[in-house]
Amino acid sequence: MAENVGRSVLVTGANRGIGRAIAERFVAAGDRVATIYRSGDLPAGVLGVVGDVRDTASVDAAFTRVEEEHGPVEVVVANAGVTRDQLLMRMSDEDFDTVLDTNLAGAFRVARRASKAMIRARSGRIVLISSVVALYGGPGQVNYSASKAGLVGMARSITRELGGRGITANVVAPGFIDTAMTQALPEKQQQAYLGAIPAGRFGQVDDVAAAVQFLASPEAAYISGAVIPVDGGLGMGH
């Protein structure tokens, strides 16, 4: 059993990008942080359990292992996500299914498994990492935007189911954040986004991590079913 400080926090996909920054922030705050991850290395102080959010048995086994080491998960962040961008008429079933299975069903598997202990504890924080394109839309992102919009309905339904049990479920909707996911976009598309962002810059991973940490904090106990944009104003009004 790890030293009993802070809370038991689980972030999916903490090996890189936004998930890594979120995990680092919770570690710095003194929480016991774990991740379900597929590859790569992890930040110092993070308990890693290899797994895949597309697989229910894998998610369940990872939670069991984390519970053994850190105790019941009190804060869960569904961060793992993928893109398979393609124009609608060319998008394959496989590209659609993979993105929905990872981004939407993956978050469902993680939230469902986390809810068991949270209901028992009558307390918990569920944060789902969506995207500005959930409500803004994105060309070539029919699969991705549908998966991210689905997270809004998911968080709001969880709020209606479990809001009376001290559990909050919120969505963080990052805009254009400087990570491998956005670096993979064509330069022309990156510049078009930059021109549309009122803040005049791309976001940093820590901009997103800060919002997640706030939603997981005691100060955010009365915020649930919310969609918190972290996008420099890109998605305003959506």
Ligand X SMILES: NC(=O)c1ccc[n+]([C@@H]2O[C@H](COP(=O)([O-])OP(=O)(O)OC[C@H]3O[C@@H](n4cnc5c(N)ncnc54)[C@H](OP(=O)(O)O)[C@@H]3O)[C@@H](O)[C@H]2O)c1
**Residues taking part in catalysis:** 144
In the complex with ligand X, which residue's Cβ is closer, 123 or 193? 193
In the complex with ligand X, which residue's Cβ is closer, 15 or 168? 15
What is the Cα–Cα distance from 209 to 226, expressed in whole angstroms? 16
- 134-166 b/e (C-beta count within 10 Å ≥ 16 → b): bbbebebbbbbbbbbbbbbebbbebbeebeeee
Min dist. Cβ of residue 168 to ligand X (A): 19
Which residues here bind ligand X, judged by CB under 6 A? 12-13, 15-19, 36-40, 52-54, 79-82, 102, 129, 131, 174, 176-177, 179-182
Min dist. Cβ of residue 141 to ligand X (A): 10
Query: How far out from the chain centre does Cα 38 lie?
Result: 15
Q: Which residue is nearest to ligand X (CB)?
A: 17
What is the torsion angle, in degrees rounded to the nearest 10, for the CA atoms of residue 25, residue 27, residue 30 and residue 31?
100
Min dist. Cβ of residue 237 to ligand X (A): 18
In the complex with ligand X, which residue's Cβ is closer, 61 or 121? 61
SS3 assignment, position 194? helix
